[in-house]
Amino acid sequence: MITHHPAEELLAAYAAGSLDEATSLAMATHLTLCPACRAVHDDFEALGGVLVCENAADTLKPDALAATLGMIRAAGSGVADSGVADSGVATVMRPQPSTVATAGSSLLPLPLQYYVGGDLAAAKWRPLGPGIHHMPLIADGAASARLLRIAPGRSVFEHSHEGNEITIVLRGSYSAGGENFRRGDLEMADGTVSHRPVAGSEDICVCLAVTDAPLRFGNFLGRVMQPFIGI
C-alpha cells in the first residue's frame, strides 16, 4: 500500500509536459506502481485535451491537409515509427526483449529499465560510500537521476538540498524524519529538509533518486567526497 505520493502540481506538470526528463522518469516510475496517482494524472491529461480543444483555432497553410497526407504516404505503411515517444504505449521506451525479466520477477518498472539497460540484475553499480552504491542514469544539467543501493541498516550521509530531491523506493524500505518509505512510495524533499535516510534492516534498499540541484552534504566525509562522486 503506497502512502507517500507526489503533489498535485507535480503530476499536473508531468501531464502538461513541462518537467525535465529525470523528473518525468520519477513520475513514470511512481505512476506504474500507483493506480491512484495514475487516475489523477489521467484527469490532468484530459484537462490538457480539453484546453487544446478550447484553443481558438489557428489558420493553417492552404495545403496543410494535402501536405500531411503526402507525409503519411511517403512514410508508407511498413516504415518503423520515428524516434518520438508515443502517447501511452511508447515503443521507443521499451528495452530489448532479452533484457526484460519475465512477469512476476520484474522489479524495475519498464520506463526505468530503459535507462538501466534491463532489470535490477543489469545495474552497473559504483561505490558511493560505506554500504552505498549508485548508478547514474540521467545527468543533463537541469536534473539528474540515479539508482541508489543501500545495504541493510546503513544510512546515506546527512544532506540537504538546494533544489528538490525525489526518492522512490523500488526494493526494501528506508526511514527518514520518523516516516517509513516502502516500494512505490515517493518522498519529496526541498531546501528546508536536512535528513539522513536509514535503510530497513530486512533487505537492501534500492531507490530511484532525482535531484534538480547539487546536494549539500552535512558531514565532513560527504563534503570531501562530493567533488569526486559527482553528485
Partner 1 sequence: MMRNGIMDILARSAATGEIDYLGRADRGAWTTARKAVHARHAQTKIKTCRSNDHRSGASVTEADAPVAGAPPRSQDPERMTTLLLRLKENQDETVFAELFHFFAPRVKSYMRKLGAPEDQAEELAQESMAMVWRKIHLFDAERAGASTWIFSIARNLRIDAFRRQRRPEVLMNDPTLVPDGPESPEREMDRGQQAAAVRAALATLPAEQARIVHLSFFEDKPHAVIAEQLGIPLGTVKSRMRLAFQRFRKALGEPES
78-137: which residues touch partner 1 (CB under 8 A)? 81, 83-90, 92-94, 100-104, 106-112, 114
* 160 contributes a contact to partner 1 by CB under 8 A: no
Closer of 156 and 186 to partner 1 (Cβ): 186
* 197 contributes a contact to partner 1 by CB under 8 A: no
Residue (of 124, 137, 123, 130) closest to 225 by Cα position: 130
Question: How many of the chain's residues bind partner 1 (CB under 8 A)?
Answer: 88
- One-letter amino acid at 146 equals R
Binding partner 1 (rule: CB under 8 A), the pick from 69, 121, 221, 224 is 69
Packed helices 21-33 and 8-16: angle between N→C axes, nearest 10 degrees: 110
* 57 contributes a contact to partner 1 by CB under 8 A: yes
Distance CA 198, CA 153 (A): 6
* 55 contributes a contact to partner 1 by CB under 8 A: yes
Find out whether 28 and 87 touch, Cβ atoms under 8 Å.
no
From residue 130, alpha-carbon distances to 140, 151, 194, 195, 214 in Å are 27, 9, 20, 17, 20
Binding partner 1 (rule: CB under 8 A), the pick from 3, 7, 96, 125 is 7
* 193 contributes a contact to partner 1 by CB under 8 A: no
